[in-house]
Structure formats: structure tokens, C-alpha cells
Amino acid sequence: MKIETIYLSENKSITLTTYIPDISDEMPNMKVKPGILVLPGGAYKFCSDREAEPIALHYASRGFNAFVLRYSLNEDAEFPKPLNEAVTALKMIRENAEEWHTDPDKIAVIGFSAGGHLASALCTMSEEKPNASILGYPCILSDISPILAKEVESTTDYVTKDTPPAFIISACDDGCVPINHSLQYASKLNEFGIPFEMHIYRAGGHGFSLGNDVVMSTEEGQKFTKPTTYWIDRSVEWLHEIFK
């Protein structure tokens, strides 16, 4: 696997890390793969490790080339700076598609919480768009700004007919980001006839990531609910359906 960290600016904390499995003649169907850009959450105050490499490795194991972006945070997180970095990362993946054995027309973005806001912004506010999105308990509406490092706009205001399809996951008992954010985004997609799939779990709280013991600690009282582990496999199936 080619794991490489690329600095996107003079600020060495802004990085794109590649997770590109080796090419083998024994697996001819895997010589050119879809890609997925991973945007961890963390309220634009930090980038959660639980929503970074574990996510990338899981998709890499399912036939994707994965890329983790660590974007601007805290005082540097004022828009459009993080969005510009996400655009740069997406363009870089497409520009290096041949070297990285990636189909430039089959690149998804996945974002969690504040990373979900950034992912939805990339899908709605940027001319350079991914081909699909996966949004995990995403911040979508501007009313979430008080808990974030910087004020944000509602990405629902920028949904158009050109917004890519979305796969959305949330939990009813999310005490941080109300599920109304997910519902409002889905409603806006529906208004423009954009395909989406949404899974709202009865329980799971906020930040469940893969929902398994790889990312969750019972010692810290984090919730583990079996249903929240199902989304990752279904999202892979959904992406393959979208990318046919």
C-alpha cells in the first residue's frame, strides 16, 4: 500500500494522506479503482483520528483508493479556507488519477460532523464537485455555528440540480447535531430530484464512526450499538450502484 502524506500549504498541519493499495495482476478488476476523500469531524477545532485512518483503511479494504484530508482548524477555519483546501485535495486526486490508479469520474467524499459540513459544502458551494457524498451525522445548518470554531453557512442554501447524490447517516439520540440537519439536507436534495439514501438509527449518539470496538472505548462510556456498524457496508454497496 502506498501511504504518503502530502503537505498542501506552508502550514504543515494541512495534509492529504494517501492510502492506495498495491496493484496486482492477480486482481485485474482492481487496477483502476474509485476513490474516496475522507474529511474527519471535530467541530473545526480538531480532526478526529477515529474518523480518519480507520475510515480510509476500511474503504481501502473494500476496493477504494482512500485519501484523508486534515484541513484548517480553529482561528484558521473561517470559510472559505477549509473549503479551498478540500477543493485542492479533490483536484489533486483527479490530476494524479493515473499515477494513483484512480478513476477521476468515480470519486466520493465522506465527511463526519463538521467534516460533513465541509463535505456538503464541497458538493454544493464548489465548482469542483465529487461524484457522490457520504455524510455522517453532518453539520448542515448555520444554527450549529455556536459549537464550531467559526461561523458557517447552511449548505442547504446552495443545493442545485448539480449537487451529487448523497448517502446520509445519523442517530435519533444525537445530542450534539440534531437529526434535523440531515433531514433538511435530504429534503433539499429531494426538491431538486437528486438521488439520496438515508439511515436514521434509533440509538448511536454522535460521532459513532465505524460503530465498533476499533474506534469506540467502553471505558470512556461510548455507546456501541450493533446497527450503527451496518452503514459502512451498505455505503460501499450504494457507491458501487452510483458508480455503475
Domain boundaries, the chain: 2-242
User: 147-188: per-residue pLDDT in tens?
Assistant: 999 999 999 999 999 999 999 999 999 999 999 999 999 999
User: 3-60: per-residue pLDDT in tens?
Assistant: 999 999 988 999 999 999 999 989 888 889 999 999 999 999 999 999 999 999 999 9
pLDDT-derived band at 231 (thresholds 50, 70, 90) equals very high
Rounded to the nearest integer, the mean pLDDT of the chain is: 94
Question: pTM for the full model?
Answer: 0.96
HEC sequence for the chain? CEEEEEECCCCCCCEEEEEECCCCCCCHHHCCEEEEEEECCCCCCCCCHHHCHHHHHHHHHCCCEEEEEECCCHHHCCCCHHHHHHHHHHHHHHHCCCCCCEEEEEEEEEEECHHHHHHHHHHHCCCCCCCEEEEECCCCCHHHHHHCCCCCCCHHHHCCCCCCCEEEEEECCCCCCCCHHHHHHHHHHHHCCCCEEEEEECCCCCCCCCCCCCCCCHHHCCCCCHHHHCHHHHHHHHHHHHCC
In terms of CATH, what superfamily is 2-242?
A: Alpha/Beta hydrolase fold, catalytic domain (3.40.50.1820)
